[in-house]
């Protein structure tokens, strides 16, 4: 299955609408607000007790379980967010205009930069401090999972076939019932795919969010992430190895017990049945479906669920309103008033913040650093393209190879690449390499796989007839690549590259600074800037860094990726 694009690709319209501007403003104001609040809250937390984390490998199963639990809780929250936020955006025209740009900008905010701010905030809110830290970690994971899920759900809701909507209205299904019987099932395959993506992505953040220092507050939650942090501090390569093995096992279990069954189960919700595509299989699901015991155990739940879904049936169908045309003046006015008020408050927050503590030189520095990181990402994406596109096409055009490579590539994308950083860093230290160059590949270590498995999927989707024509006309060599292979995989490549580029920005925050024991390496870039300010507890500059990075991401998405994606869709989409 192909991924949906992780950015808003609504249309050819202008690069920025006023709703985008408002969304940017609101998010900036929120950041400023959190930062301001956190600054005052920081002091009393300084003496927080550190949870003792031990490097004994015997603790790893426990740590892994805790880490996994955090992710599951965050996933549940993300689903809740998805079902509410995306539904509101899809069903309410007025809300949609603000909620969609808001989501699009939120997706571009580097989560890793965000963690430091939210950690302090949540710890101050929660009565018990450990609980607060847990909240913060879960929130950080939530922010890495929720946006793309909500986005996919919103897009699915908008594309429910008209006839199905009409059926549900003709048979007078209540909104509650048609949500669960029509909307959710229709969105299910894409949603599950995005849940998998989110899960993969959040491994990366879980590792970063369990052990974090803000100013002189150090928060350590027992988990794989803090285990790794400790291992790095102690320069214990063996412990790093144990952690990596643990993660491999955890991800494998996750994949086999949770996602593979889910994907196989969700196959029935696919609306179009492409022929010739094998239905996904899961041994776990087969076992569960065939087992009488499971059937007996789940039957009461199924019945309960059924009753719940049918519970709120309406007595009479709601009258259908015609498109209102200036007759709801009062509501429009209220809505406008709320939006204006929000905008004003946000503007005031941001303006005060900017005039108070940020000098022009700070902004220039951040922008220059941003350019440095940008050039790194451009080079890396280009390199990954040159390496993975030919390999992806080669693999994709050979079904028996693709069958084996595809799961591996997806697995590699799920593997938190930051676990491998210590190994790379120790090598850089040992050989005294230039960090400005050699730290860079770490940024794309985890994200390059999106390019690979999208290209593989694209190459596998080239119709047999087109390949036969190529062979028949003896199109070979460079001509074959130029006229057949590259155009066919282009839309897929763009989707993968968008994901890879977005992920790399985020990764720069952990990849541009690295340490191994007391050796500290630092590259010149915006990621390093944010990391350093976090360590120093300078909230104003953290916000500045995040804002500048978001700006870069949004600008590149709007001016480069979105047009490229639309072009690819129009020109190269097969069928």
Partner 1 sequence: MSTALLDIRALRQTFPKADGGELLVLDGVELELNPGQIVGLLGRTGSGKSTLLRAIAGLAPPSAGSITYMGQPVVAPPPGIAMVFQGFALFPWLTVLENVQLGLEALGLPETEIRKRALAAIDLIGLDGYESAYPRELSGGMRQRVGFARALVVHPNILLMDEPFSALDVLTAETLRTDFLELWGDGKLPIKGVVLVTHNIEEAVLMCDRILLFSSNPGRIIREIAVDLRQPRNRLDPQFRDLVEKIYVAMTARTAAPPRVGTVATSIDTILPRVSANLLSGFIETLAAEPYSGKADLPVIAELLHMEADDLFPVSDALQMLRLVEVEGGDIKLTETGKQFVEAGTDDRKKIFQRQLLTYVPLAAHIRRVLQERANHVAPKSRFFDELEDHMSANDAEETLRSVTAWARYAEAFAYDDDSQTFSLENPT
Among 57, 175, 185, 241, binds partner 1 (CB under 8 A): 185
CB of 151 to partner 1, least distance (A): 22
Which structure tokens are listed for 216? 């002189």
Cβ-contact 504, 444 below 8 angstroms = yes
Candidate ranges 190-198, 211-219, 318-326, 402-410; the one touching partner 1 (CB under 8 A):
318-326
126 burial type by CB count under 10 A (0-12 exposed, 13-18 middle, 19+ buried): middle
Q: Which residues contact 251 (CB under 8 A, 6 or more apart)?
A: 203, 411, 414, 415
Candidate ranges 176-184, 249-257, 483-491, 522-530; the one touching partner 1 (CB under 8 A):
176-184
- Does residue number 479 form part of the binding site for partner 1 (CB under 8 A)? no
- Does residue number 91 form part of the binding site for partner 1 (CB under 8 A)? no
Rounded Cα–Cα distance for residues 347 and 330 (Å) = 25
| 234/299 with CB nearer partner 1 | 299
| 94/129 with CB nearer partner 1 | 94
Strand partners, 220: 211
CB of 267 to partner 1, least distance (A): 10
Candidate ranges 50-58, 171-179, 281-289, 484-492; the one touching partner 1 (CB under 8 A):
171-179
Cβ-contact 377, 505 below 8 angstroms = yes
Exposure string over 218-252, b if 16+ CB within 10 A, otherwise e? ebbbbbbbbbbbbbbeebbeebbebbbebbeebbe
- Does residue number 52 form part of the binding site for partner 1 (CB under 8 A)? no
Among 269, 438, 481, 524, binds partner 1 (CB under 8 A): 269
- Does residue number 571 form part of the binding site for partner 1 (CB under 8 A)? yes
Torsional sign, CA 525, 531, 532, 537: positive
Phi, psi for 235 (deg, rounded to 5): 50, 45
- Does residue number 320 form part of the binding site for partner 1 (CB under 8 A)? yes
Which structure tokens are listed for 7? 């950015």
- Does residue number 170 form part of the binding site for partner 1 (CB under 8 A)? yes
CB of 93 to partner 1, least distance (A): 14
Q: Roughly how many angstroms between the first and final C-alpha of the chain, as a whole number?
A: 16
Rounded Cα–Cα distance for residues 74 and 137 (Å) = 9
- Does residue number 268 form part of the binding site for partner 1 (CB under 8 A)? yes
- Does residue number 174 form part of the binding site for partner 1 (CB under 8 A)? yes
CB of 146 to partner 1, least distance (A): 25
Candidate ranges 13-21, 139-147, 168-176, 365-373; the one touching partner 1 (CB under 8 A):
168-176
CB of 311 to partner 1, least distance (A): 10
Candidate ranges 78-86, 161-169, 213-221, 452-460; the one touching partner 1 (CB under 8 A):
161-169
- Does residue number 156 form part of the binding site for partner 1 (CB under 8 A)? no
- Does residue number 273 form part of the binding site for partner 1 (CB under 8 A)? yes
CB of 184 to partner 1, least distance (A): 10
Rounded Cα–Cα distance for residues 72 and 268 (Å) = 24
For residue 59, the 8-state DSSP code is G
- Does residue number 274 form part of the binding site for partner 1 (CB under 8 A)? no
Candidate ranges 89-97, 162-170, 202-210, 466-474; the one touching partner 1 (CB under 8 A):
162-170
- Does residue number 166 form part of the binding site for partner 1 (CB under 8 A)? yes
| 142/565 with CB nearer partner 1 | 565
Q: Which of residues 195-214 bind partner 1 (CB under 8 A)?
A: none
Among 94, 181, 235, 532, binds partner 1 (CB under 8 A): 181
CB of 326 to partner 1, least distance (A): 11
- Does residue number 172 form part of the binding site for partner 1 (CB under 8 A)? yes
Residue 141 to residues 147, 199, 207, 500, Cα–Cα distance (Å): 11, 9, 10, 19
Candidate ranges 25-33, 42-50, 265-273, 454-462; the one touching partner 1 (CB under 8 A):
265-273
Concatenated DSSP letters for 462-527?
S-HHHHHHHHHTT--HHHHIIIIIHHHHHHHHHHHHHHHHHHHHHHHHHHSEEEETTEEEE-SSHH
Which structure tokens are listed for 261? 């069954």
| 320/359 with CB nearer partner 1 | 320
- Does residue number 322 form part of the binding site for partner 1 (CB under 8 A)? yes
| 44/324 with CB nearer partner 1 | 324
Candidate ranges 29-37, 112-120, 172-180, 386-394; the one touching partner 1 (CB under 8 A):
172-180
Residue 300: CB atoms within 10 Å:
9
| 271/348 with CB nearer partner 1 | 271
Q: Beta-strand (E) ranges in 288-336?
A: none
- Does residue number 161 form part of the binding site for partner 1 (CB under 8 A)? yes
Alpha carbon dihedral 324, 325, 330, 332, in 10-degree steps, equals: 80
CB of 309 to partner 1, least distance (A): 9
Candidate ranges 166-174, 200-208, 212-220, 476-484; the one touching partner 1 (CB under 8 A):
166-174
Cβ-contact 264, 284 below 8 angstroms = no
Strand partners, 218: 213
Cβ-contact 450, 499 below 8 angstroms = yes
Among 173, 211, 377, 528, binds partner 1 (CB under 8 A): 173
Rounded Cα–Cα distance for residues 493 and 69 (Å) = 34
Taking alpha carbons only, the member of 495, 499, 471 closest to residue 485 is 471
Among 318, 401, 408, 469, binds partner 1 (CB under 8 A): 318
Which structure tokens are listed for 567? 């072009």
CB of 192 to partner 1, least distance (A): 13
Chain residues in the site for partner 1 (CB under 8 A): 161, 163-164, 166-167, 169-174, 177, 181-182, 185, 188, 268-271, 273, 310, 313, 316-323, 325, 571
């Amino acid at each position: 299955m192909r991924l949906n694009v992780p950015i808003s690709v609504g249309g050819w319209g202008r690069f920025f609408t006023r709703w985008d501007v408002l969304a940017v403003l609101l998010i900036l104001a929120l950041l400023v607000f959190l930062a301001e609040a956190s600054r005052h809250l920081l002091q009393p937390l300084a003496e927080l007790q550190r949870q003792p984390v031990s490097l004994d490998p015997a603790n790893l199963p426990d740590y892994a379980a805790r880490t996994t639990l955090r992710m599951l809780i965050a996933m549940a929250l993300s689903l809740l967010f998805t079902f509410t936020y995306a539904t509101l955006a899809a069903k309410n025209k007025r809300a949609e205009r603000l909620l969609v740009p808001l989501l699009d900008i939120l997706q571009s905010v580097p989560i890793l930069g965000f963690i430091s701010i939210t950690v302090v905030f949540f710890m101050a809110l929660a009565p018990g401090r450990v609980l607060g830290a847990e909240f913060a970690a879960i929130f950080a994971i939530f922010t890495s999972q929720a946006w793309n899920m909500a986005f996919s759900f919103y897009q699915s809701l908008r594309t429910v076939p008209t006839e199905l909507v009409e059926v549900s209205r003709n048979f007078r299904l209540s909104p509650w019932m048609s949500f669960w019987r029509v909307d959710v099932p229709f969105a299910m395959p894409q949603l599950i795919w995005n849940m998998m993506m989110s899960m993969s992505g959040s491994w990366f953040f879980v590792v970063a969010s369990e052990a974090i220092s803000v100013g002189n507050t150090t928060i350590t939650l027992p988990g794989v992430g803090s285990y790794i942090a400790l291992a790095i501090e102690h320069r214990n390569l063996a412990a790093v190895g144990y952690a990596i093995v643990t993660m491999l096992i955890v991800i494998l279990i996750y994949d086999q017990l949770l996602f593979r069954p889910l994907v196989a189960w969700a196959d029935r919700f696919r609306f179009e049945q492409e022929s010739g595509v094998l239905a996904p299989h899961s041994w776990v699901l087969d076992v569960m479906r065939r087992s009488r015991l499971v059937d007996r155990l789940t039957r009461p739940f199924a019945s309960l669920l059924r009753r719940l879904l049918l519970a709120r049936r309406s007595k009479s169908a709601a009258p259908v309103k015609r498109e209102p045309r200036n007759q709801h003046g009062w509501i429009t006015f209220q809505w406008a008033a709320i939006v204006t008020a929000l905008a004003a408050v946000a503007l005031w927050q941001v303006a005060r913040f900017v005039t108070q503590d940020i000098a022009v030189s700070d902004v220039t520095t951040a922008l220059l650093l941003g350019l440095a990181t940008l050039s790194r990402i451009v080079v890396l994406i280009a390199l990954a393209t040159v390496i993975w596109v030919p390999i992806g096409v080669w693999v994709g055009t050979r079904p028996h190879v693709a069958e084996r490579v595809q799961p591996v590539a997806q697995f590699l994308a799920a593997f938190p690449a930051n676990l491998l950083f210590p190994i790379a860093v120790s090598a850089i230290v040992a050989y005294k390499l230039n960090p400005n160059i050699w730290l860079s590949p770490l940024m794309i270590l985890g994200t390059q796989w999106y390019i690979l498995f999208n290209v593989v999927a694209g190459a596998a989707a080239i119709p047999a007839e087109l390949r036969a024509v190529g062979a028949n006309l003896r199109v070979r060599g460079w001509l074959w690549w130029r006229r057949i292979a590259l155009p066919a995989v282009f839309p897929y490549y763009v989707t993968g590259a968008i994901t890879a580029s977005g992920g790399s920005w985020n990764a720069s925050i952990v990849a541009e600074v690295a340490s191994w024991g007391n050796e500290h390496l630092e590259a010149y870039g915006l990621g390093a800037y944010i990391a350093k300010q976090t360590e120093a507890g300078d909230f104003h500059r953290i916000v500045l860094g995040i804002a500048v990075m978001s700006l870069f991401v949004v600008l590149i998405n709007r001016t480069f990726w979105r047009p490229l994606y639309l072009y690819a869709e129009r020109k190269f989409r097969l069928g």
